Structure 1
Amino acid sequence: MRARRLVWPLALAASLALPASLAAPAAARSPGAPAAGCDPTQTEPVYRGDVPSPEKVLGFELGERQVSAAESDRYLETVAAESERVVSGTLATSAQGRPLKYAIAGRPGLMSKAGLAKVRREAGLLRDPRTPDALAKRITRRGVPILWVSGNVHGNEPSGTDAALRVLRDLGDREDCAARTILDSALVVVLPTQNPDGREAGTRQNVYGFDMNRDWFARTQPETDGKLAMLNQYPPALYIDAHEMGGTSYFFPPNADPVYHETPEQAIGWINDVYGAAMAAEFTRRGIDFFNRDVYDLFYQGYGDSVPTSAFHAAGMTFEKGNASPYPDKVQEQYLTQWVTLSEAARNRHRLLTEWRQMTVDAYEQGKAGKLEPNQVYNPPNEVERQVPDRRVRSYFLRNDDPAKRAEVRTVVRRLQRMGVRVERLVRPLTVPDFKPYGRSAARTTLPAGTYWISMAQGQKHWIQAMLGEDSYTPFPYFYDVTAWSLPLLANVAGGSSGAVLRPRAVPVRTLPAPRPGHEGKAPKLGVLQLSETSSSARESAGWLRHRLDRDWRLPFTRLTTADVAAGKLAGIEVLVTPDGPASPAYDALGDAGRTALQEWTRGGGRYIGWQGGAQLAARLGLTTATLSEPTSDIPGSLFRAKVDEDGPLADDVGGTVWNFTAYDLVMRASSGVAVSYPEADSPGWFVSGFERGAAELGGTAAVVDQPAGEGRSVLFAAEPNFRALTDGTAKLLHNAILGPDPEQEAAPRASATAKAAREAARLPSPESPIRVSVKRAEAAEAASVLRSVGAKWSESRSGGVVHYVVDNPRGLPTDHHPFAARLPSLIRRAGITPVAVTLP
């Protein structure tokens, strides 16, 4: 049954409005319980008429069609201009120069500068565990929580924006008890669109190819960075993130497992038992189809629900509406979930503030005791397969005694500080009895003065562990995203942890400035070859690279296509960088002319740098002796310690090891020119942060090769060195590959060796964002039956006792827009299969 749309004619709304002379002055009201019998959704809306309707401003009602980014801004500013309950501002400017407009709504008494400052100050006091209990109780009795409503982080998922504008109009103009309940008991921040460039282009990603629902902890994009700066000013107790997915159903929490272990239990209680329960009751009453406890997890610490939960102790809420529904229905259901959730938060104002405060106190006490939260599951019959180690962690340290790494260390420190983490610096050496360096055993260690110290005895304890822990301790093998994101490992900086009670001589560190972009030395004439305009992997990888070149290194470059190469446009290019993308279609698209041009350019003295599909293309063209093969392991996105050849030019300022990010990447083997390699799996140097099954196959193989190709050179990475522009450690290898000198001349490779590499590369598939399912051999028949039932097409391989299915996804659709990917985990579970791994695109 389709939802009944609550669309009220303007004339009726006006007739129900209270005369201004009879309305109670909102500024005089204080937070309290809602009026008895005031139902959030069944109360008839009463509009004052101060705020013009969307039809009067835009020429159509919200939901008739999607608003443009400019129309959204115009209506938001209209509401703010006409309502004393609303103020507006701009929190960031997108890469293409569009503003990210926000509005703040509340009772008029809060809307002055002094009123808003008071709300911010009280929120800060509740988030500080040092605040006296008596003061905290007074704030929880009289204060208001800050509730966020945001939409459209994926530009091609527009309906959350229109719904948020409806919410804003209602908060700005409605005078009935349902609206007053929210206004009297909360401050609401409305951010209608988080990705205006993507909205205008109709793309999931922003202009640089970033999925900004993965960018929250790294803050590489201006849209994300500005949003988090605003969140730190107005810390949320509730954060709504409205999306769209495939189909016609609606998802709202409870979430699927896994849930990250450092997720406060009170927040999960609000997500599951308060907001989730309220929406389930409303959707059931209306007969609207919905589901929960499936598909959308709360694990990776880069989402718009997980970061508000771990970093702000908010109830982070992902809402997903099926995009196959008519647009008016999509907007109506998005509006319904937003309004119901805001209403439930307001109706429970005192409890919400009390528990929000308690989460900070609990976090501080846990950090003081060195207690890490354990893994658990929330949706039986799932079971924890990997538990958090039973080890005390009271302190983290970041070493600052390597001049070559100081910029990366400062970047990590700054990211912590900008999320409210207190960082101190040792003024005297400190002997730590149980210092555990990342990926090593604990030992008595003296840390030098200048080392950064991060105590876990802070209200931000959960976030500290999420960012500085050496592993995510994935509880069981279901992966909606990557499983490793430790900031020190991504940056390749030295540090570690201790569980001892320490009293170091240390001083607080002021928030460090942003790093200065740029590069040293002469920039080469640089080309970037994007292997496909339609492949999602090519667009993302090339976009991440363009961002790094534009924003971080300030290196000018020329964008090239396969057609450009075939047309002779490599002339004048000195270094060509080829990111990921489908290698076989690109090889064909080059044609004989393009292939010959690329071979002659490289062998004539050009420097070819490629990774993943770009490396596979180089092998097919005979530019390397390195052989590539499909992995037989399950590595959904993990960090591996790798050895660096310190005598080679790629090692400059990197050191002897680097943390290499890999996710089902090709296995590369080479007998010469190995610049970075994986340790043997049984050696002391072997360590993996994140999930892996069968990763020992990487032991002793190459991660990066640097080989001569005629008079030129090919530098090939098996994995993405610039993943989401946050793997700063391996990005330095890429930086050196572009700007550094050539290595000492090696003997030219034998034609037979390059021919073998080309033959093996030609046999490799070029899957686009595939779905991967791995099961034990005994359950292979049942797994194949599940795949056939949804119409999947797949390739199959076997290793040891495991069968690996790689399911074709030719359009590169993400899970939430794929016709069956989201259903696979539950179908596998219902078939009685215990998978080795299920990895969704």
Structure 2
Amino acid sequence: MKKPLLSFLLGIFLCLNSQAQENYFFPGETFDPAIPSPSEFLGYKIGEWHTRYDLIVKYFETLDELSDRAELKVIGYTHELRPKIILTIASEENMGKLEEIRLKQLQLADPRQSMPDVSSMPAIIHQGYGVHGNEPSSAEAAMLTAYWLLASQSELAQELKANAIVHIDPTVNPDGRDRHSHWANTNKGFPPVADPLDREHNEVWPGGRTNHYWFDLNRDWLPLAHPETQAKIAWYHTWYPNVTTDFHEMGTNSTYFFEPTKPYGSENPVVPRKNYDDINVRFAKYFSKYLDEIGSLYWSKEVFDNSYPGYGSTYPDIHGGLGLVFEQASSRGHVQDSQRGEIKFEFTIRNHVRSSLATMEAALDNKNFMHEYLREFFETAVNEGSKDAAKNYVFGDEFDESRSRLFVQLLLDHKIKVYENESDLNLGDYSFKKGKSWIVPTSQPQYRMVRTMFEEVTEFADSVFYDASTWTMAHTYGMPFGKSAGVKLGAEVTDNSPADFEFPTDKAYAYLIDWSDYYAPKMLYNLQEAGVHVEIVNRPFTSQTQKGPVDFAAGTLMIPTGFQKLSEDNLKDVLKNLSKSTHQQVYATQTGLNLKGIDLGSNLVGAVTEPKVIMVVGDGVSSYEAGEIWYLLDSQVGMPITKVNSDQMGRVNLFDYNTLILPAGNYNSFPESVLNHLKDWTQRGGTIIAMKSASLYLNQKGIIKETPVEQGESTDPEELPFADRSAFEGAKEVGGSIYMARMDLTHPITYGYRREQLPVYRNNSIFMQPSQNKYLTPIRYTENPLLGGYISDSNLELIKKSASIIISPVGRGRVINFYDSPNFRGTWFGTNKLFLNAIFFGNQMD
């Protein structure tokens, strides 16, 4: 009889616990006892522990099972195979006609269709939580919000179910959340420790903010590099919510932030003023009311950025809805001291719950207004696009089909209409070939996203940026493009898959693979892994192939059939399979005697060494940049890379590798023994790829000897008001902008490129003079390099005198110095090849 008694007492305890919780978060409200509260389900009060993501999913599954007013949908999976879920809540009547409601909402967003009666349409509300894994209060708030909406007996909850469709995404970044939750829970004290120095409040590198590959997913709504955001955007375009929330945390000593953000300086240039001047102001009154009721301090109209279109709170603004960012002072654990006393986890959760409820009430009260704005947004987009002097953007790289199709896919994923180009065109400095280029008209509903993809902006209302100051996606893909006032549209692109190449059937003296295509490095790595001997031709040539005479550029891969361990048939099978999987054209030639240029047995042809790569990660290293490199090699090349913590470098024998990658970071913690080993290994033939501040470190330690650009005399005034310090000093930073660089196309680091000019991305203030060796600065900036983004006049002059890439010989080895960001956010497809060339051809660069 003891067990039933124990269970009975435990049930009473949990019930009382739950009631106390409900009174704290929802004072005075009554709830449907058939719906368990989060604390009843989990067995602990919300805020006592950081809830694991699998338990959040289980709770939402339980709500789905218990209520006909809730429906759970899996929209995708993370890198670590955690499900991405959306819980939809509405009245039973509306749940029964969910598809009809969804199609009407899409009708609103399509000006070609008739305007539906918005008075009969429910508000579409999307509550998004937890894009940063170590900002954990929002996911707990998501569970409480779902519980309140389903179980509360309040009039507002009933009205919302009857007149709104609420979609709840409890955690945009499940992988990062679980990384942080595990840290906070395993380091929790009993009682919890509020001292900010305690281990619980200080995660080890890389922390839980980012996803599996250490990417900030709050920047990925535009690039769509990762499955979490790809699934989210695909879902978003099936609903076009009227309101989308984006819940965050900030420093412990702050209070609470809600929109509007800083006027003009923090706003996106393509978003209508009505969004900022009217809609944001309407909603802000609700947020202040809900926080006033519980005495929480808050602020608005400052700092937080809404300009970059890849934010979860900005992307909806460019799609006819209202995106809302909320920032809560973080306990970074269960309790932490602040300037106002102890900040408890449950307190941070409550503020986000209040804003969640306020958002839903505001959206309900402004339901018809927001529906009409959605239609107005897309109607005005079409009208503005039809008046744009650039009636069409034409783009395409005739030498790199894969990269061109990757860009086409990005446009299609953002629902931008793309058409085939059926004629040869010359626009500005570029020529566009029929069948190898595409057209994007400006007169279309997604005109504002078209601007986002192609527009170059260099004038701004402010000179201080929270994040990147430019995002022209055509440049990130290195995509040639031009404007045309009149061009005939071909067929609309609905299938972006390329046709397979025909594989040569005759016996070959050698096989040839052009290095121009984006996936040529993937082909090369897989060939080497399969045991195929590959050589590189270091000069242009013309060869007779199964397709007749073909001109090949320097960097072409050559596979001689007479120097292979594989049999002829096995070699053919490997080449044929890889040609299909990487979409690379394989050419066959019957002779080593070329029609033009060097022959295939020339001394200017040599074996490609298989890369053995190690990268330093851990304390002091930029996790963002290390993650970009890791992700590039994993996702685009399929090449495993050894990642070693900076404090373990003393155990590494570098002679087991031929390439060392040093992402940007602080390497002063390297002991003298590690530094000496690194010097010796490099002098004996090793290749170091040094990114930005890592290059400075090698320079300071005398491993390389490059020269900084001399700074001019300061023009700063002798005195300024103290209040101006942030704006004045911030304007000196290079916060993320795009420049045109000029390339030496004969250098191995530029193999695969056919044009001398290439857009590059810079987000640092390291300015190095070109090498004293006139052959070893393969990439410099053009005379007038700025393509997009903000930079001060003085910094622009320094960039003009600077190098983008320098090769520094060190004995028989070398350091390849990158001063830009060739892999930024997984979206700089245009400069990835530079970095991959450094890996594959590094030993040929000096």
Could you state the TM-score of these two structures normalised by the residue count of structure 1? 0.74
- Separation in 1 of the partners of 2:684 and 2:432? 52
C-alpha contact 1:649 1:742 (8 A) present in aligned 2: no
The Cα of 1:335 is off from its aligned counterpart by 0.5
Structure 1 residue 339 displacement after superposition: 0.6
Q: 1:255 aligns with which of 261, 274, 286?
A: 261
User: Which residue, out of 30, 47, 50, partners 2:34?
Assistant: 50
CA distance in 2, matches of 1:565, 1:163: 42
The answer to whether structure 1 residue 722 and structure 2 residue 717 are counterparts is no
Mapping of residues 623-638 of structure 1, within 5 Å: 623-628=703-708, 634-638=733-737
Asked if structure 2 preserves the Cα contact closer than 8 Å seen for 1:631 and 1:667, the reply is no
2:303 corresponds to 1:223? no
Instruction: For structure 1, list consecutive stretches of 5 or more residues without a partner in the other structure.
Output: 1-8, 15-40, 371-391, 439-444, 746-841
Q: Give the counterpart of 2:141 among 163, 166, 170.
A: 163
Structure 1 equivalent of residue 776 of structure 2:
674
Q: What amino acid is aligned across from residue 560 of structure 1 in structure 2?
A: V
Q: Offset of 1:449 from its aligned partner?
A: 5.4
Q: 1:339 to 1:506 in 2, by over 3 A?
A: same
Indicate which of 115, 127, 143 corresponds to 2:121: 143
Q: For 1:521-540, what aligned pairs fall within 5 Å after superposition?
A: 521=525, 522=528, 524-530=610-616, 533-535=618-620, 538-540=622-624
* Structure 2 residue 159 is the aligned partner of structure 1 residue 181: yes
Q: Within 1, Cα distance between the matches of 2:356 and 2:458?
A: 31
Q: Does the Cα contact within 8 Å between 2:619 and 2:646 map onto a contact in 1?
A: no
Asked if the contact 2:439–2:489 (Cα under 8 Å) also holds between the matched residues in 1, the reply is no
1:93 equivalent in alignment to 2:77? yes
1:662 corresponds, among 752, 759, 762, to 762
Does residue 689 in structure 1 map to residue 788 in structure 2? yes
- From the superposition, tell whether residues 63 and 450 of structure 1 become closer, same or farther in structure 2 (CA, over 3 Å): same
1:364 aligns with 2:392: no
Larger radius of gyration: 2
C-alpha distance in structure 2 between counterparts of 1:511 and 1:258, whole Å: 37
Residue in structure 2 matched with residue 453 of structure 1 by the alignment:
439
Is the contact between residue 470 and residue 489 of structure 1 (CA under 8 Å) also seen in structure 2? no
Structure 2 counterpart SS, 1:233: coil
Change (3 A) 1:446 1:198: closer
**C-alpha contact (below 8 Å) 1:266/1:355 kept by paired residues:** no
Counterparts of 1:814-833 in structure 2, within 5 Å, are none
Q: Residue type matched to 2:758 in 1?
A: V
Quote the Cα distance in structure 1 between the aligned partners of 2:260 and 2:367: 21
| Maintained 8 Å contact 2:220/2:229 | yes
- Please give the root-mean-square deviation of Cα atoms over the aligned residues, in Å: 2.7
2:418 maps to: 423
Offset of residue 83 of structure 1: 0.9
Write the deviation string for residues 438-458 of structure 1: whole angstroms up to 9, x where unpaired: 9xxxxxx88755421111111
3-state DSSP class of the match of 2:768?
strand
2:804 to 694, 697, 703: 703
SS at 1:110 equivalent = helix
Q: For the structure 1 residues 505 and 153, does the alpha-carbon distance in structure 2 shift closer, same or farther, using more than 3 Å as the test?
A: closer
Q: How far 1:692 moved relative to its partner?
A: 0.9
Task: Give the partner amino acid of 1:350.
Answer: N
- Code of the residue aligned with 2:491 in structure 1: it is V
Aligned mates of 2:780, 2:68 — CA distance in 1: 62
Partner of 1:520: 524
Give, as a single letter, the amino acid of the residue that structure 2 aligns with 1:635.
V
Give 1:173 shift: 2.4
Instruction: Give the whole-Å Cα distance in 1 for the aligned partners of 2:707 and 2:432.
Output: 44
Residue 190 of structure 1 aligns to a residue whose secondary structure is strand
Task: Work out the percentage of aligned pairs sharing the same amino acid.
Answer: 23
Note if contact 2:709-2:801 (Cα within 8 Å) is conserved in structure 1: no
Out of 110, 124, 129, which is 1:128 matched to? 110
- Name the counterpart of 2:295: 287
Q: Partner residue of 2:674?
A: 594
Mapped to 1, the partners of 2:831 and 2:154 lie a distance apart of 57
Q: Deviations over 1:668-700 (max 9, x none)?
A: 2212243443345xx3x5333110112111214
Residue 525 of structure 1 deviates from its aligned partner by 4.0
> What's the CA shift for 1:201?
1.8
- Report the 3-state secondary structure (helix = DSSP H, G, I; strand = E; otherwise coil) of the residue aligned with 1:188: strand
Q: How far 1:344 sits from its partner (Å)?
A: 1.3
**Where does residue 593 of structure 2 map in the other structure?**
none
Matches within 5 A, 1:554-633: 554-583=638-667, 585=668, 589-628=669-708
Q: Distance in 1 between matches of 2:487 and 2:682?
A: 58
CA distance in 2, matches of 1:73, 1:469: 41
SS at match of 1:200: helix
Give ranges in structure 2 of 5+ residues lacking alignment: 1-13, 20-24, 181-207, 332-342, 499-517, 530-609, 713-731
Map of 2:728 onto structure 1: none
Contact 2:287 2:358 in 1 (8 A): yes
Structure 2 CA distance for partners of 1:561 and 1:355, relative to 1, 3 Å: closer
Deviation at 1:631?
A: 7.0
Q: 1:357 to 1:630 in 2, by over 3 A?
A: farther
Distance in structure 2 (CA, Å) of the matches to 1:471 and 1:491: 17
Q: Residue 475 of structure 1: SS of its match in structure 2?
A: coil
Correspondences of 1:109-128 after superposition (within 5 Å): 109-112=93-96, 115-128=97-110
1:467 is aligned to 2:553 = no
**Structure 2 residue identity aligned to 1:645:** D
Classify the secondary structure of the residue corresponding to 2:360.
Answer: helix
Matched, 1:553 2:637: yes
**Is the counterpart of residue 241 in structure 1 residue 246 in structure 2?**
yes
What residue number does 1:782 align with?
none
Structure 2: distance between partners of 1:63 and 1:248: 19
Letter aligned with residue 32 of structure 2? R
Partner of 1:790: none
Work out whether residues 768 and 803 of structure 2, in 8 Å CA contact, stay in contact via their aligned partners in 1: yes
Which residue in 1 is equivalent to 2:570? none
Match 1:477 to one of 463, 475, 483: 463
Query: Offset of 1:578 from its aligned partner?
Result: 1.4
1:148 maps to amino acid:
H
The alignment partner of 2:283 has SS state of helix
Distance in 2, Cα, partners of 1:350 & 1:43: 30
Q: How far apart, CA to CA, are the structure 2 residues paired with 1:266 and 1:194?
A: 28
Q: How does 1:306-385 map to 2 (within 5 A)?
A: 306-310=314-318, 312-324=319-331, 325-370=343-388
Q: Aligned partner of 1:278: which letter?
A: Y
Specify the alignment match of 1:264 in structure 2.
Answer: 272
Give, in whole Å, the separation in 2 of the partners of 1:271 and 1:487: 28
Q: Residue type matched to 1:613 in 2?
A: S
Q: Deviations over 1:351-390 (max 9, x none)?
A: 21111111111111111111xxxxxxxxxxxxxxxxxxxx
Secondary structure of 1:687's aligned partner: strand
The counterpart of 2:409, out of the listed 410, 414, 417, is: 414
Q: In the TM superposition, what is the alpha-carbon distance from 1:107 to its structure 2 partner?
A: 1.4
Distance 1:554 1:241 in 2: 33
Q: Shift of residue 72 of structure 1?
A: 1.2
Q: Partner of 2:306 in structure 1? A: 298
Q: Higher mean Cα deviation, 196-205 or 506-515?
A: 506-515
What is the CA distance between 1:414 and its match in structure 2? Answer: 0.9
SS at match of 2:798: helix
> Does the 8 Å contact 1:398/1:495 carry over to 2?
yes
> Shift in Å at residue 266 of structure 1?
3.5
What letter matches 2:736 in structure 1? Answer: G
Q: Distance in 1 between matches of 2:661 and 2:487?
A: 49
Do the aligned partners of residues 101 and 744 (structure 1) sit closer, same or farther apart at CA in structure 2, a change above 3 Å counting? closer
Note the C-alpha offset of 1:560: 2.4
**SS state at 1:239 partner:** strand
**1:199 lines up with 2:172 in the alignment:** no
